[in-house]
Structure 1
Amino acid sequence: MEFKVIGSLLVQENGESAIPSAPKPRQIVALLLLNANRVVSVQSLTRELWSDNPPQSVATTLQTYILQIRKTLASALGTSSSRVARDVLITKPGGYQWHVPPGALDLHRYESLLAEGRTTLAAGDNEGAATLLREALDLWRDAPLVDIKPGRLLEVQIMRLQESRLSALEQRIEADVRMGRHHEILPELIELTAEHHLHENLHAQLMLALYRAGRRSSALASYRRLRTALAEELGLEPSIKLERLHQAILCCDRTLDVTTHGGALTMLDRLIADRCA
């Protein structure tokens, strides 16, 4: 059986859906899969489905949804609901647990590749890190659970995953920057900074890539746009890191021309350390 949450919710057996089509049972499946192999409490499921206004028959209604999910799973698997209750969607003290075999859930594969990629980057293997992080990001078919109307708990989980993806993108770009691939990553960075117009680290990466591509004026213009946006929308000035990068670009600091760094510090962190030494 195949399980996917990075994109639309999919639980498939031989290419056919194995979960109900009704919205609330799908919410339950989504929350259980995001917490696969862990117990999700009845209280958590209730809050996800009904927020602070559960029906009087909440226990019976929730049990009915669980039975519907088990029945649909059993039909797809060609087995009994009792076996599904024993081996897949398991009743636990105070809640329910969805058992997922190793490697069957796209989220687990993503998190494993991401962790390995981060470790590899910290060890200074930029090529290996870039490959692993790309493999992790390739698992993203769309926004997490894009076809589910989330409640409070799913909203938080979706936000967490979106932040995780953005962090993975930053680190993959960092690996590419270390290897001097500034020309290749420029289109992606331009798109990302347009989407995340107040994200300082992405702008820093764009400024460095533009500078190394021989576009010093564009790098300085990127800084000015960010500074204006921060001031107008948040009443803030750019961080010390951005200011020091800006100054380094202004004076054509030779540190900016170094394309390979090992260790856990990012290129920009090392720049700041060098300039403050």
Structure 2
Amino acid sequence: MRFNILGSLEIFTCDNRPLQVNASKTRQVLALLLIRNHTVVGVDTLIEELWGDDPPRSALATLRTYIHNIRRLLAEEEQPEGRDLLATRQAGYVLHVDDDQVDAKVFEQLIARGRMRLERAELEAGSADLRAAVALWRGPAIANVGFGGVLGAHAIHLEEMRIQAINLRITAEKALGRDQELIPELRSLAVTHPYNEVFHAQLIESLYRSGRRAEALQAYQRLHSNLDRDLGIAPAPEIQRLHEKLTSC
């Protein structure tokens, strides 16, 4: 089976047949179990995720119904004898799906490998791993799942990892001398992340390195205006130093 959560929650059989999970709270439980693959998720944690601080008296029985529904879903794919994909533990439940069947886990593996290759100065290979990691995303994580505090925190963590992967890959490609090629992507990132000073700094620097100093100054002014108007702050000191470098040329 294949499980995708970097976008809408999707499940596919080995023959690429999609499986539907219509009940919203069943999707919620499955998403949390997938994100914590191979780790026991406590009953208390699942109840907190589903109902917050005000669970119904029937919470435990209802949770067991959701677990039963997930087991029925997983039974759509025949497993080797003795293999239980969703196991019950004294404290909760644990999903045992191969990591290469979950796009979020593949994403994490690619980032780890990419970081390792960059540390070895293997810039091309590391950049390729990071690009492949980000390419797995189809939209906001678990976009078709309504989630509570626990799952929401995981979604934020995945998004932060995605942003870090983009920045690492761009840094590697800049080191390979690809500033000119990166400008269109950096412009888009500056628009979609108006307060992310790292992306703006990357754009300003790439414009400057490409001989487009006037455009670099305009990019700095846009950032300065966004931060001052919306947040009442100035760009970080390192970006101000970059601006000073531009104006002193």
TM-score by length of 2: 0.94
Structure 1 residue aligned with 2:198 = 201
Q: Deviations along 1:6-34, whole A, 9 cap, x unmatched?
A: 11212221223446321111110000001
Structure 2 residue aligned with 1:77 = 77
Structure 1 residue aligned with 2:86 = 89
Of 212, 218, 221, 1:215 maps to: 212
Structure 1 residue 66 and structure 2 residue 67: aligned?
A: yes
Structure 1 residue aligned with 2:25 = 24
Structure 2 residue aligned with 1:180 = 177
After TM superposition, the structure 1 stretch with the greater mean CA deviation from structure 2, 18-27 or 236-245, is: 18-27
Q: Distance in 2 between matches of 1:17 and 1:55?
A: 32
2:77 counterpart letter in structure 1: L
- Note the residue ranges of structure 1 that are not aligned, 5 or more in a row: 253-277
Q: Distance in 2 between matches of 1:47 and 1:205?
A: 40
Contact 1:19 1:26 in 2 (8 A): no
- Structure 1 position 62, deviation (Å): 0.8
Secondary structure of 1:66's counterpart equals helix
Contact 1:144 1:158 in 2 (8 A): yes
Structure 2 residue aligned with 1:12 = 12
How does 1:98-109 map onto structure 2 within 5 Å? Answer: 98-109=95-106
- Structure 1 position 123, deviation (Å): 2.6
Secondary structure of 2:29's counterpart equals helix
1:63 counterpart letter in structure 2: R
2:134 counterpart letter in structure 1: L
- Structure 1 position 102, deviation (Å): 3.8
Structure 2 residue aligned with 1:45 = 46
Secondary structure of 1:154's counterpart equals helix
After TM superposition, the structure 1 stretch with the greater mean CA deviation from structure 2, 2-11 or 38-47, is: 2-11
Q: Distance in 2 between matches of 1:35 and 1:110?
A: 14
1:10 counterpart letter in structure 2: E
- Structure 1 position 144, deviation (Å): 1.0
Structure 1 residue aligned with 2:168 = 171
Contact 1:87 1:99 in 2 (8 A): yes
Structure 2 residue aligned with 1:2 = 2
- Structure 1 position 78, deviation (Å): 4.6
TM-score by length of 1: 0.84
Structure 1 residue aligned with 2:222 = 225
Structure 2 residue aligned with 1:241 = 238
Q: Distance in 2 between matches of 1:26 and 1:102?
A: 19
Q: Distance in 2 between matches of 1:224 and 1:240?
A: 15
1:7 counterpart letter in structure 2: G
Larger radius of gyration: 1
Of 153, 160, 170, 2:150 maps to: 153
Q: Distance in 2 between matches of 1:251 and 1:181?
A: 24
Secondary structure of 2:68's counterpart equals helix
Secondary structure of 1:77's counterpart equals coil
Q: Distance in 2 between matches of 1:88 and 1:16?
A: 19
Secondary structure of 1:116's counterpart equals helix
2:240 counterpart letter in structure 1: E
Q: Distance in 2 between matches of 1:78 and 1:103?
A: 18
Contact 1:42 1:96 in 2 (8 A): yes
Matched positions, count? 248
